[in-house]
Amino acid sequence: MPVITSSLSNDQQNKLLSLLGNVRLHLLYKASIHGYTAAAFHSRCDTQGPTVIVAYNSAGFVFGAYTSKDYTQSNEEVIDKEAFLYSISARRYKPLKVSGITGKCAFTDVDSGPDYGALVFLYEDEPAVDSNPGTSFNFKDTDMHGDDLQLTEFEVYRVEDLGDLLTKPWRNIQWTNTKKQQLMEAILNYEPSVKMVHQARVLLVGPVGAGKSSFFNSINSAFRGNMTSQAIAGTAESSVTTEFRTYTIKAKKGGGAVPLILCDTMGLEDNLDAGLDIKDLVSIYNGHIKDRYQFSLSGPLLSDAPGYKKNVTLSDKIHCVVYVVETCKASILSQKMRDKFVAIRKKANQLGIPQILLMTKVDDACPLVGEDLKNVYRSVYIQKMVIESLGIPLNCVLPVKNYSQELEVEQNTDILLLTAVEQMLNYADNFLENQVVEDQGGVCGDPEINSSMISALMNSDSE
C-alpha cells in the first residue's frame, strides 16, 4: 500500500486555509489511490463531519466545495449556509469563493459522486466534473475551472477546527529550567518500591509510525544532552521495528543508567495477520520474551519454543504499558485498530498493569502548538483530541513532542518528555506495590500458579 500524501502545494494549501479559518486538513480520500468512483468516495468520506473537496485539472485549477454537513447517502437535499465553492489558480492572487444561492440546497446527498448542482464531481464514476452554473451556485466556467472538466486528481479532506487558545491551561506545567532539572533529578533518584526490582520496565505499544522508537530516542537525547538515534525509527507502511527490544537510558555520555527500561515492539496494524500478535504481547507482559527476539508472522512464540524464557521474576515483567498514538489520528483510528486496543487493554487489566496514553506529534497536530510548545495545554484542538482518545482516563493521557528534525535538545520539549517518564515511574510503582512477593530474591508468587494463569490468559478470547 503506497504512502498517501496530499497533492496540494504549500501555496495552494495556504490559500485554501485562508478560506477555512483556523483549521487542520486531514486527507481522507485520494482518487488516484482509492479509485475515481462514488463507492470509493462514500466509503471514506461519509459521516466525517465538515469536509472540503479538492479537484485538480490540467489547466492548473484547484477547485472544489466545502460543506459543514455529513455525507450520508440519505437521498435528500441538504441545506448548509456555510457551504461554498472555490477555485484557486495561478491567474489570480486570491482564491475565488462562491456562496450558495439563497433558498437553494448546498448539495443533494445521493449515492453517486458529490452533487453540488452547479458542480457534480466524479461524474458517471469517471475523473470528470459536470458543470451547471446557476444551479445552487452561480459562477463563470472560465473562472471556476477554465472550462477543463477532466480531472488529473481528486481529493477530500476532513476539516478539523483548531479553535482558539484557552484562557487558562487545562493542565499546569512549569516551563522553566529549574523544573527540567527537578524532573531529571527525581527520575535519576527513583527507586522501585520492591527491593528485588532495580529498574521500572515500561512497554511501548502503538500503531506503525506513531513514534514509539522516536520516543525512546528523544528520552535518551534529553538525558544525554545531544541528539541520539539508538532505536531504529522511520516512516513506513509496515513496522520498522521487527524485534522485541529493551533499551537502557544513560545519564550523559558514559554516565550511569537511568532506573528505567523502555521496551519497544512491532507496530500494531489493521490486518489480523500483520503487526504485533496479542499472544506475543501477553508473553512480553509476563517477561517470557527475551531482548532481540525476532517476531514471526507465522504465529506467536510458544512456551516450548527456543528463546521462550520460562523462569521469570518480577524484574522481567512489564510494570507499566504505554500506548503511543499520533495526536491527529487518535480520534479516527479504524475500527479494527480500536478493537485491537480494546483486546490489549483487556489483557493488561487482567494482569493489573497500569496504562498510559502518549499522544505524539502535538506540534504537527496544531499549528498554535507548533509555533509555541507551551500552548499544548491551552490548545482547544489538543484538548479535544485528548478527550476523544480511546476511552482512557484524562489523567493517564500525556501529549508529547518527540525530537524528529532538531539537531539540539530544547527545554520545553524535554519538560514534556520528562513529565511523561515521571508518570510512568509513578504508575510502575503502583503495579509493584500491588504484587505479592513471597521471596524478595526469587520468583514472584507460586511459579505453577503463575504459569497456569498465564496460559489461561494467552488462550482466552480477546473480545
pLDDT tier for residue 457 given thresholds of 50, 70 and 90: very low
CA 338, CA 331: separation in Å to the nearest integer?
10
pLDDT tens digit sequence for 397-415: 999 999 988 899 999 999 9
Nearest C-alpha neighbor of 201 from the set 315, 32, 369, 288: 315
Q: Quick check: 139 and 98 in contact, CB under 8 A? A: yes
Q: Apex CA 331: angle with CA 63 and CA 397, to 5°?
A: 140
pLDDT tens digit sequence for 44-71: 999 999 999 999 999 999 999 999 999 9
Q: Quick check: 360 and 211 in contact, CB under 8 A? A: yes
Determine the average pLDDT of the residues in 275-287. Answer: 83
In this prediction the pTM is: 0.70
Spell out the domain ranges in the chain.
Answer: 10-161, 177-459
Residue 247's alpha-carbon distances to 220, 252, 273, 366, 400, in angstroms, are 9, 15, 27, 30, 19
pLDDT for 274 equals: 63
Find residue 153's DSSP bridge partners.
56
CA 277, CA 111: separation in Å to the nearest integer?
38
Residue 188 has pLDDT above 60, yes or no: yes
pLDDT for 255 equals: 72
- DSSP class of 371: H
Q: Quick check: 178 and 386 in contact, CB under 8 A? A: no
Nearest C-alpha neighbor of 427 from the set 396, 394, 401: 396
Exposed / middle / buried, residue 75 (Cβ in 10 Å: 0-12, 13-18, 19+): exposed
The grid coordinates of residue 32 equal: 488516484
What are phi and psi for residue 316, nearest 5 degrees?
Answer: -85, -20
pLDDT for 437 equals: 47
pLDDT tens digit sequence for 102-120: 999 999 999 999 999 999 9
Task: Determine which of 7-21, 58-72, 429-443, 444-458 has the lowest per-residue pLDDT on average.
Answer: 444-458
pLDDT tens digit sequence for 296-322: 766 677 777 777 888 889 999 999 999
Q: Quick check: 106 and 69 in contact, CB under 8 A? A: yes
Exposed / middle / buried, residue 9 (Cβ in 10 Å: 0-12, 13-18, 19+): exposed
- 69 contacts: CB under 8 Å, gap ≥ 6: 50, 78, 80, 83, 106
pLDDT top residue among 186 and 208 = 186
The grid coordinates of residue 166 equal: 484557552
Look over the chain and give the mean of its residue pLDDT values, rounded to a whole number. 87
- 226 CA to centre of own chain: 26
pLDDT for 301 equals: 73
Give the fold, CATH level 3, of 177-459. Rossmann fold (3.40.50)
CA 247, CA 57: separation in Å to the nearest integer?
50
Half-sphere exposure of 354 (CA within 13 A, CB side): 23
Residue 451 has pLDDT above 80, yes or no: no
Residue 456's alpha-carbon distances to 287, 347, 452, in angstroms, are 16, 11, 6
- 345 contacts: CB under 8 Å, gap ≥ 6: 355
Residue 460 has pLDDT above 60, yes or no: no
